[in-house]
């Protein structure tokens, strides 16, 4: 099982690294990363965030959270080539390291992909966003890493969302069963240094994140089996 207490994390039990990557800006990388981090922490896992995006959106979210006095997560930054060192250090004391990356696909992204136990690629419901995943998938394939595509800002029942989902399933990557809907609460909570799971109980957004989190844990457990 992946669940374990902090006391059990040692040099012989390194934590899992989840890298969130997408070539197209505005795809929801940071939103996915921080919501996943808070969801995992809420289940008792110890979680560190690693921001490698010079834009620093994850860092701004973390500082807003810190100002509220509600942290519960470790936070670090790194340049592209400092990722390996930071991941090696953080995974010795944390169950999960969530890495946010710049919106580009080049050699600078490879260290974050190389360190990953799982690569998450958010895809908004447009063919342009889907096309932008190809570069990430190609780099991941070169590093012999599996990719999990996550449909983001999906509008239920629309033809476009269904077309994107169908096309995504044809790529050399897994497609998450759980989609994240186009909900204002994701943007609202991000600006407040919170996650949707810290809002009203039993909200639809909270259910989406919890279901996605469970799916990701299942994928990681199957990879370890």
Q: Single out the residue of 21, 215, 51 nearest to residue 134, CA to CA.
A: 21
HSE-CB for 69 with a 13 A CA cutoff = 0
Q: How far apart are the first and last CA of the chain?
A: 10
Q: Single out the residue of 149, 159, 209, 155 nearest to residue 181, CA to CA.
A: 155
d(CA 44, CA 80): 29
Instruction: Classify domain 15-217 at the CATH superfamily level.
Output: P-loop containing nucleotide triphosphate hydrolases (3.40.50.300)
Between 144 and 71, residue with greater pLDDT: 144
Instruction: Write down the domain spans for the chain.
Output: 15-217
Between 98 and 151, residue with greater pLDDT: 98
∠ Cα 96 101 107 (to 5°): 115
Between 41 and 171, residue with greater pLDDT: 41
User: In this structure, what token pair is assigned to residue 177?
Assistant: 């069963």
Note the pLDDT of residue 108.
85
Q: What share of the chain is helix, strand, coil (3-state, %, to 5)?
A: 45, 15, 35
pLDDT digits (tens, 9 = 90+) for 178-210: 999 999 999 999 999 999 998 777 789 999 999
Note the pLDDT of residue 2.
53
Under the banding of pLDDT at 50, 70 and 90, the label for residue 11 is: very low
> What is the average per-residue pLDDT within 15-35?
92
Lowest-confidence range among 14-23, 49-58, 165-174, 207-216?
A: 165-174
How does 191-205 read in b/e, with b if 16+ C-beta sit within 10 Å? Answer: eebbbbbbeeeeeeb
Residue 85 pLDDT more than 70? yes
> What is the average per-residue pLDDT within 92-96?
96
> What is the average per-residue pLDDT within 67-73?
85
Categorise residue 56: left if φ over 0, alpha if ψ from -120 to 50, beta otherwise.
left
**Do 171 and 137 touch, CB atoms closer than 8 A?**
yes
Helix (H, G, I), strand (E, B) or coil at 174: strand
Lowest-confidence range among 46-55, 80-89, 153-162?
A: 153-162
d(CA 116, CA 97): 9
Residue 12 pLDDT more than 80? no
Note the pLDDT of residue 210.
95
* Model pTM above 0.85: yes
Note the pLDDT of residue 29.
93
> What is the average per-residue pLDDT within 165-173?
80
Helix (H, G, I), strand (E, B) or coil at 175: strand
Average predicted confidence (pLDDT) for the chain = 88
Decide the pairing of beta strands 74-77 and 174-175.
unpaired
Note the pLDDT of residue 188.
93
User: With the C-alpha atoms ordered 137, 99, 15, 38, is the resulting torsion angle positive or negative?
Assistant: negative
Percent of the chain with pLDDT over 70: 94
d(CA 41, CA 76): 17
């Amino acid at each position: 099982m992946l669940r374990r207490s902090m006391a059990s994390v040692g040099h012989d039990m390194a934590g899992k690294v989840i890298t969130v990557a997408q070539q197209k800006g505005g795809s929801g990388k940071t939103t996915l990363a921080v919501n996943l981090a808070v969801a995992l922490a809420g289940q008792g896992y110890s979680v560190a965030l690693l921001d490698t995006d010079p834009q620093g959106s994850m860092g701004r979210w973390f500082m807003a959270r810190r100002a509220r006095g509600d942290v519960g997560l470790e936070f670090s930054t790194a340049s592209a080539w400092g990722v390996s060192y930071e991941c090696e250090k953080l995974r010795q004391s944390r169950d999960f390291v969530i890495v946010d990356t710049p919106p580009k696909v080049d050699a600078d992204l490879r260290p974050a992909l190389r360190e990953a136990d799982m690569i998450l690629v958010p895809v908004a419901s447009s063919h342009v966003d889907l096309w932008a995943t190809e570069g990430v998938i190609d780099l991941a394939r070169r590093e012999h890493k599996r990719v999990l595509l996550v449909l983001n800002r999906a509008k239920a029942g629309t033809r476009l969302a269904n077309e994107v989902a169908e096309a995504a399933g044809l790529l050399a990557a897994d497609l998450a069963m759980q989609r994240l809907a186009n909900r204002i609460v994701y943007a609202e909570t991000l600006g407040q240094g919170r996650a949707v799971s810290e809002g009203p109980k039993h909200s639809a957004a909270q259910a989406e994140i919890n279901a996605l989190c469970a799916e990701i844990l299942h994928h990681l457990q199957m990879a370890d089996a």
